[in-house]
Amino acid sequence: MSTPTSTTSAESAGPVDWAKLVADARPGVVRLEVASCDARWMGTGFVVGPHQIMTAAHVAIDAQTVSVQGDGFNTTADVVGLDRGSDSALLWSPEDLQHPLKLAPVAPQLAAPVALLGFPQAVSDLRVTQGIVSGLQASADYSDVDIHLAGLIATDAAINGGNSGGPALGRDGSVIGLVTGKQVWNVEDDPVEGTGFLVPAAQLAPHLREWRDLTPPDGGRGCDGDNQAPEAQGSILEVEVVPDSAEAGDVARSLVLHGESINHGDYEIAWGLFTPRLKRDLGSLSTWESGLGSSYWTNLTVGSVEVSGDEAVVEAALRTEQDAKDGYRGQTCSIYSLTYSMKRDGAAWLIDHAKNAQGSPRACP
């Protein structure tokens, strides 16, 4: 059990080298793109184990697919644990995750410095804001998702949409809390500034211990209206993004989310990643969906991404597997060389056109 003396000495140490602490933590912070059956949103998470990512419960609630952008990689994740009482959730990813962040063993003191890491306003590059611990027993209510929190850390560090689920670092680089939200109005409807909230590490630790060994259940997901084609049991969509740029990762995430949605039978989500023009060309969700049959994505390699304003051209290689009756000329494994035309729609990239450079897929070797 920590003593007040050890806490005081840690908090009153010399100046904090925030540049070094952020550089050390950066590989362990990830950008999340989440889709439900009828909406998409962004959030932040941080690595806590070989396959585990912690984020806010309100980021993970109703998630059908989760696309993850890390430091030099793109992958997917599933929700394996969620607790509204602490606004915390744990994701499991097939990626071999590196650089886990540690939860602080001791609560911060009032006025202790803090740095928040995340992806506010759906940006592609990591952002950092700094402040102090301005309170230790704050509370917050998010009635729309039935989350009511107490015992929170208050901070004056800037928080915006997309920061939720990100880590708040203390002066030693450990995670003192998880970003949950901020107060915008008081009970008298007066605007409030500089009041953000963090879920303390002490509230996160018990759930992390409880969920650490959980893995995603087989099947069980889907949206109303989907035909619930069997999931690709045991199949993980392997993704490689060759261009090493934030823009390339941003564009690739939409393709990953599209493929993952197809694999899980979440066809409404996959359909939602088409532009209105492509939807018109395809006719209807049911027509497009029926053409998929048993096909699912197994490998996606994004070879190049050229972005110009709100448009992008992507060269990619896609491998699919399917029953012989659904494959081109009876193929059970097919390889496509695709050129995607993409258009930016707010924070997301939508597929506007896809062309197979070879005219038809070739059979896997």
* The pLDDT of residue 225: 52
The 10s digit of each residue's pLDDT in 268-303 is 888 888 999 999 999 998 889 888 888 889 999 999
State the burial class of residue 95 (Cβ atoms within 10 Å of its Cβ: 0-12, 13-18, 19+).
buried
Residue 358: band (very low, low, confident or very high) from pLDDT cuts 50, 70, 90: confident
**233 or 249: whose pLDDT is higher?**
249
* The pLDDT of residue 264: 79
* The pLDDT of residue 194: 65
* The pLDDT of residue 260: 84
What average pLDDT does the segment 27-35 reach? Answer: 92
* The pLDDT of residue 217: 79
Indicate whether 222 pLDDT > 90. Answer: no
| Number of separate helices (H) and strands (E) present in the chain | 8, 18
What CA–CA distances, in Å, run from 200 to 11, 133, 170, 184? 16, 11, 11, 21
Query: In which element (H, E) is residue 54 found?
Result: strand 52-55
Contact 56, 151 (CB under 8 A): no
* The pLDDT of residue 224: 58
* The pLDDT of residue 61: 94
The 10s digit of each residue's pLDDT in 135-179 is 999 999 888 888 999 999 999 999 999 999 999 999 999 999 999
* The pLDDT of residue 230: 43
What the block records as the tokens of 168 is 């708040």
| Ordered domains of the chain (ranges, CATH) | 4-205 (2.40.10.120), 238-363 (3.10.450.50)
* The pLDDT of residue 4: 34
Question: Which position has the token pair 């993704």?
Answer: 239
* The pLDDT of residue 174: 97
